[in-house]
Amino acid sequence: MSSDTRIVVVALAELRSLLEEAVRSSVSQEKRDEWVDARGSGIGRRLFLQLGREGAFPIFKRGRSFVAKRSDVDAYIERQRVEVEPTLKPEPPKPRPLAGHDPIAAALAAGRLHVVKKPP
């Protein structure tokens, strides 16, 4: 062995995480430098061209088609993200005070009992 050769011993889980991190950073770097045309943009051909003409992201003519950087298209899509607020459930109606203590009327008012068919 030469003097600058080293053997490093790591656990399998650590080696796996190091490899995943290296691959992830490599893929994300390639993705940033990737150029896409209107068909490969993921937002549709017409919308891609319309947004490019409006200046939402820079587009360039390459041959007979227009292209843009994948990172610019992704950044535009991310800016359009809308936070959805959770919907609140309406509170059930409060029972109305009834005259007397009729249990059937109280159950009807509380919503525990329903009239299926009204008498003629």
What are the pLDDT digits (tens) for 36-86? Answer: 888 888 888 999 999 999 999 999 998 888 999 998 998 998 898 888 777
Average pLDDT, the chain: 80
Read off the pLDDT of each residue in 94-105 and give the average, rounded to a whole number.
67
pTM: 0.44
Q: What is the mean pLDDT of residues 30-40?
A: 76
Decide if 73 contacts 42 (C-beta within 8 A): yes
Q: Provide the 10 A C-beta neighbour count for residue 51.
A: 19
76 in helix, strand or coil? helix
Q: Give residue 56's pLDDT.
A: 93
Residue 24, pLDDT above cutoff 80: no
Q: How far apart are CA 28 and CA 18, in angstroms?
A: 15
How many whole angstroms separate alpha carbon 99 and alpha carbon 113? Answer: 18
Tell me the C-alpha distance between 97 and 105, whole Å: 10
